[in-house]
């Protein structure tokens, strides 16, 4: 369109596309009677970079797309292209596309002395394009508290099954969905609040603090704690920190032992809500020497037992024994997990003391 503006003719027009960044001559004519020429510049768009950031340790594979080189970019190979980043040469790993006006390449970011913005450049066939890049310090788990858990996932935390992680060099977080945490490769649950009742996770003093529920582990020993920031958005590096948690197998411990005079076969477990299934309160830590009734034992830190959940009978090949003045036969398993096991026994008859 054209308009008069303070005695000047102002013309707006749609420029035709070009595959080459260059300056050309444009001609404006009015009714064929007169014309005026002027310089018109086709500028190359800024290169696209993904990811746009990486660790100062180097090694990040970065895809760079440069446009506007015209025929100069067609047929280029990795050996034809030079790249630099943070003032250091960058290895061109591959050229994945090299056609008229489009060059797509993968480079390996070199190490950089400090975190922050850094200038990058790709060049070939007399052309060059600059691109921005951001270096960050590598994330690290600075503290795992407490740093030990039982094989069942129990810890010395106030809640009894959590650890608190202090993580450096992660972006600030706003919700549990910003983080993915694993211990020994097993995913952790992030509660909405930590053990003190504060929102979880939180940001303080340049660190991210996150409380996680520890998953059980089949094996004792050191396990890798991985904290991955997943809320960085498209085109950025998923930052990940690693720490260590030690699993251990605590010694088995009897929590309580009780006796019920009667346990009907119709009852799945002998004690429910601190009452015997056959009626009455159980005896605490005592049983008649006659060997009658059923002794119920709850123990911690035993290996989980294979059993039929409908009947409570042990699976074929499994065995459990208990001895208190004589051998006892296992009647059934009330329940069994990595945390606690309930066992029901027929007590032995004992000789009356003289």
Structural tokens at position 252: 């088995």
26: in domain: no
Torsion of CA 322, 326, 332, 333, to 10 degrees: -20
Q: Which of 23-37, 161-175, 266-280 has the lowest mean pLDDT?
A: 23-37
Q: Assign 265 a pLDDT band (cuts: 50, 70, 90).
A: confident
The H or E element spanning position 327 is strand 327-336
15: in domain: no
* CA distance linking residue 83 with residue 118, whole number of Å: 13
35: in domain: no
10: in domain: no
Mean pLDDT of the region 202-207: 95
Mean pLDDT of the region 175-188: 96
Q: Are strands 82-85 and 53-55 parallel, antiparallel or unpaired?
A: unpaired
> What pLDDT is recorded for position 53?
95
The residue whose two tokens read 């790249």 is 83
Task: Name the domain boundary from 248, 281, 297.
Answer: 248
14: in domain: no
> What pLDDT is recorded for position 31?
67
> What pLDDT is recorded for position 354?
56
- Residue 196, sorted as left (phi over 0), alpha (psi -120 to 50) or beta, turns out to be alpha
Task: Report how many domains make up the chain.
Answer: 3
* CA distance linking residue 252 with residue 283, whole number of Å: 23
Q: Are residues 304 and 211 in the same domain?
A: no
> What pLDDT is recorded for position 33?
67
* CA distance linking residue 163 with residue 208, whole number of Å: 14
- Which residues are within 8 A (CB) of 141 and not within 5 positions of it... i.e. 6 or more apart? 165, 166, 167, 168, 225, 227, 241, 242, 243, 244
The residue whose two tokens read 């014309």 is 35
Q: Are residues 314 and 326 in the same domain?
A: yes
300, 323, 301, 302: which is closest to 314 by C-alpha?
302
Q: Which of 291-300, 319-328, 343-352 has the lowest mean pLDDT?
A: 319-328
Task: Name the domain boundary from 118, 136, 154.
Answer: 136
* CA distance linking residue 90 with residue 93, whole number of Å: 9
Q: Are residues 244 and 259 in the same domain?
A: no
Q: Assign 52 a pLDDT band (cuts: 50, 70, 90).
A: very high
Structural tokens at position 287: 């049983």
Contact 221, 154 (CB under 8 A): no
> What pLDDT is recorded for position 13?
76
How many CB atoms are located within 10 Å of the residue 153 CB?
A: 21
Q: Are residues 157 and 236 in the same domain?
A: yes
Q: Are residues 229 and 260 in the same domain?
A: no
Q: Are residues 80 and 166 in the same domain?
A: no
> What pLDDT is recorded for position 117?
96
> What pLDDT is recorded for position 79?
96
Q: Which residue has the higher pLDDT, 5 or 105?
A: 105
Which CATH number fits the domain that encloses residue 79? 2.60.40.10
> What pLDDT is recorded for position 19?
72
Sheet of 283-284: strand order equals 283-284, 253-260, 294-300, 340-346, 327-336, 322-323
Q: Which residue has the higher pLDDT, 128 or 232?
A: 128
> What pLDDT is recorded for position 38?
81
What's the chain's average pLDDT?
89
Task: Name the domain boundary from 107, 136, 165.
Answer: 136
Q: Are residues 127 and 115 in the same domain?
A: yes
217: in domain: yes
Cα of 227 vs its chain's centroid, Å: 5
How many CB atoms are located within 10 Å of the residue 120 CB?
A: 21
Q: Assign 4 a pLDDT band (cuts: 50, 70, 90).
A: low
Q: Are residues 101 and 77 in the same domain?
A: yes
105: in domain: yes
pLDDT, one tens digit per residue, over 93-146 is 999 999 998 999 999 999 999 999 999 999 998 889 999 999 999 999 999 999
Mean pLDDT of the region 38-48: 81
> What pLDDT is recorded for position 352?
73
Mean pLDDT of the region 148-175: 94
Q: Are residues 121 and 167 in the same domain?
A: no
Mean pLDDT of the region 247-255: 91
Q: Assign 237 a pLDDT band (cuts: 50, 70, 90).
A: confident
Q: Are residues 185 and 257 in the same domain?
A: no
pTM above 0.85, yes or no: no
293: in domain: yes
Structural tokens at position 228: 């991955």
Q: Which residue has the higher pLDDT, 30 or 100?
A: 100
> What pLDDT is recorded for position 323?
79
Q: Are residues 159 and 87 in the same domain?
A: no
* CA distance linking residue 66 with residue 49, whole number of Å: 9
Domain, as residue range, for 185: 140-248
pLDDT, one tens digit per residue, over 267-319 is 999 999 889 999 999 999 988 888 889 999 999 888 889 999 999 999 988 88
Q: Are residues 104 and 151 in the same domain?
A: no
Torsion of CA 251, 181, 224, 52, to 10 degrees: -170
* CA distance linking residue 65 with residue 98, whole number of Å: 10
pLDDT at 152 over 70: yes
Q: Assign 10 a pLDDT band (cuts: 50, 70, 90).
A: confident
- What is the SS3 assignment for 71? helix
Residue 29: C-alpha distances to residues 9, 18, 33, 258 (Å):
12, 22, 7, 106
């Amino acid at each position: 369109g054209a308009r008069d503006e303070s005695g000047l003719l102002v013309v707006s027009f749609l420029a035709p596309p070009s595959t080459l960044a260059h300056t050309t001559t444009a001609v404006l004519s009015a009714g064929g009677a007169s014309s005026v020429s002027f310089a018109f510049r086709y500028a190359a768009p800024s290169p696209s970079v993904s990811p746009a950031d990486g660790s100062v340790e180097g090694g990040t594979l970065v895809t760079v797309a440069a446009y506007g080189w015209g025929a100069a970019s067609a047929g280029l190979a990795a050996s034809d292209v030079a790249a630099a980043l943070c003032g250091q040469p960058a290895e061109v790993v591959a050229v994945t596309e090299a056609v008229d006006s489009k060059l797509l390449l993968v480079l390996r970011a070199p190490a950089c002395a400090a975190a922050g913005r850094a200038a990058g450049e790709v060049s070939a066939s007399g052309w060059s394009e600059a691109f921005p890049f951001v270096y960050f310090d590598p994330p690290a788990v600075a503290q795992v508290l407490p740093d030990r858990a039982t094989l069942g996932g129990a810890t010395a935390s106030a809640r009894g099954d959590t650890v608190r992680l202090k993580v450096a060099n992660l972006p600030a977080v706003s919700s549990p969905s910003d983080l993915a945490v694993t211990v020994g490769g097993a995913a952790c649950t992030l509660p909405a609040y930590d053990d003190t009742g504060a929102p979880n996770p939180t940001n303080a003093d340049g660190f991210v603090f996150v409380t996680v529920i520890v998953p059980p582990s089949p094996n004792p020993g050191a396990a890798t704690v991985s904290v991955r920031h997943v809320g960085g958005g498209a085109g950025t590096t998923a930052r990940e920190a690693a720490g260590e948690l030690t699993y251990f197998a605590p010694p088995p411990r009897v929590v309580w032992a009780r006796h019920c005079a009667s346990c009907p076969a119709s009852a799945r477990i002998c004690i429910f809500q601190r009452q015997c299934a056959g009626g009455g309160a159980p005896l605490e830590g005592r049983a008649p020497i006659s060997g009658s009734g059923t002794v119920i034992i709850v123990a911690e830190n035993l290996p989980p037992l294979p059993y039929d959940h409908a009947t409570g009978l042990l699976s074929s090949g499994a065995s459990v024994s208990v001895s208190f003045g004589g051998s006892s036969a296992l009647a059934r398993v009330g329940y069994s997990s990595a945390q606690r096991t309930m066992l029901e026994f027929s007590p032995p008859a004992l000789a009356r003391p003289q």
